[in-house]
């Protein structure tokens, strides 16, 4: 099995790197929206995903795929026990379009519903994050670990707010922020879920939280965080679910537990406020 995973890894890695290089020369391309004004797509998102799927399919015709752009047409199928490649051809498309260099290609492999391999490449920084289950996580071939932080008061925390246009999340954000700003050392919001996870893995960030994502935003990155010694749960402290991903990724379990104390306080306050409001509705 291990040799087999290594074979998958060795086959896919050059494809990801080649695709990444193409982004470096991207210019004068059209930008389309996919239904919402903030949901952008370029020819590069489509081309990269098509290439990865085509090449892997040629070599392993029975493998399955969940890719952001093809899901737009076919929907997200169920996750089976078959080897399934989960692809975000460009994570941080908004950043890419604005030449913010926090952009990457992300591909993860899930077998028997277990995350087994993750490859993430940011061509603009020439940073390659990789992990195979049970073998640690690497940045450009060098083994990496999370910061190991256990004190929320010293944490640099990334809260991803790029889906803030979804009204159902407004309240949740507001109450969390209210408590978090009094607690953490600093906030970031990178606009690239996958790299946010990788930065927890390499210790640049101490924790990263995001709601309302898709499998391709999390598949490779969550494995990379775990292989770097980090702790990942869903954003409410329950078990992380790859097919309905929202998460808190932390350098340590201790840090995660401290975030969850805040999460519960914020939640309680949010529900009390909601109930109070309802009482006064005529």
- Catalytic, out of 206, 217, 227, 263: 217
Q: Is 191 exposed, middle or buried (0-12, 13-18, 19+ CB in 10 A)?
A: buried
Instruction: Please give the C-alpha separations between residue 5 and each of 2, 9, 143, in angstroms, as whole numbers.
Output: 5, 6, 18
Q: DSSP letter for 122, please.
A: E
Residue 91, interface with ligand IPD (CB under 6 A)? yes
Residue 215, interface with ligand IPD (CB under 6 A)? no
Distance between CA atoms of residues 150 and 123, nearest Å: 32
Range 156-175, binding ligand IPD (CB under 6 A): 160, 162-163
Q: Cβ 252 to Ca ion, closest distance in Å?
A: 26
| Nearest alpha carbon to residue 118 among 134, 100, 101 | 134
Give the relative orientation of helices 2-24 and 43-59 as an angle to the nearest 10 degrees.
150
Distance between CA atoms of residues 64 and 32, nearest Å: 27
Question: 277 near 255, Cβ under 8 Å?
Answer: no
Q: Cβ 159 to ligand IPD, closest distance in Å?
A: 10
Distance between CA atoms of residues 46 and 68, nearest Å: 9
Q: Assign 160 to helix, strand or coil.
A: coil
Q: Is 68 a catalytic residue?
A: yes
Our CB check for Ca ion shows the closer of 40 and 79 to be 40
Residues in contact with ligand IPD, total (CB under 6 A)?
A: 15
Give the binding range for ligand IPD (CB under 6 A) out of 71-79, 86-94, 113-121, 177-185.
Answer: 86-94
Select from 160, 211, 217, 263 the one that contacts Ca ion (CB under 5 A).
217
Q: Is 35 exposed, middle or buried (0-12, 13-18, 19+ CB in 10 A)?
A: exposed
Q: Is 80 a catalytic residue?
A: no
Residue 211, interface with ligand IPD (CB under 6 A)? no
Select from 20, 67, 83, 92 the one that contacts ligand IPD (CB under 6 A).
92
Distance between CA atoms of residues 148 and 253, nearest Å: 9
Our CB check for Ca ion shows the closer of 49 and 263 to be 49
Give the binding range for Ca ion (CB under 5 A) out of 78-86, 90-98, 126-134, 247-255.
Answer: 90-98
The 178-207 contact track toward ligand IPD, x by CB under 6 A, reads -------------xxx--------------
- Which residues form the interface with Ca ion (CB under 5 A)? 68, 88, 90-91, 93, 217
Active-site positions read 68, 88, 90-91, 93, 217
- Which residues form the interface with ligand IPD (CB under 6 A)? 68, 88, 91-94, 160, 162-163, 191-193, 210, 213, 217
């Amino acid at each position: 099995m291990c040799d087999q995973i290594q074979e998958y890894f060795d086959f896919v890695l050059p494809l990801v790197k080649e695709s990444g290089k193409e982004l470096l020369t991207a210019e004068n391309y059209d930008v389309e929206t996919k239904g919402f004004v903030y949901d952008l797509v370029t020819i590069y998102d489509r081309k990269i995903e098509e290439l990865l799927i085509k090449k892997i399919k040629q070599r392993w015709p029975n493998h399955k795929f969940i890719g952001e752009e093809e899901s737009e047409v076919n929907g997200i199928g169920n996750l089976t026990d078959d080897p399934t490649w989960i692809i975000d051809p460009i994570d941080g498309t908004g950043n890419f379009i604005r030449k913010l260099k926090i952009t990457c290609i992300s591909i993860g492999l899930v077998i028997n519903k277990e995350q087994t391999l993750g490859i993430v490449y940011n061509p603009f920084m020439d940073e390659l994050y990789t992990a195979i289950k049970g073998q640690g996580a690497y940045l450009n071939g060098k083994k990496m670990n999370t910061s190991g932080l256990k004190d929320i008061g010293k944490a640099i925390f990334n809260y991803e707010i790029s889906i803030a246009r979804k009204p159902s999340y407004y309240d949740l954000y507001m109450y969390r922020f209210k408590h978090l700003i009094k607690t953490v050392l600093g906030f970031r919001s990178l606009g690239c879920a996958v790299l946010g996870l990788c930065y927890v893995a390499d210790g640049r960030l101490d924790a990263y939280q995001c709601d309302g994502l898709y499998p391709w935003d999390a598949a490779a990155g969550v494995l990379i965080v775990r292989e770097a010694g980090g702790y990942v749960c869903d954003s409410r402290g329950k078990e992380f679910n790859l097919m309905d991903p929202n998460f808190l990724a932390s350098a340590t379990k201790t840090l995660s537990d401290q975030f969850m104390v805040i999460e519960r306080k914020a939640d309680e306050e949010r529900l009390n406020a909601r109930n109070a409001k309802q009482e006064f509705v005529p």
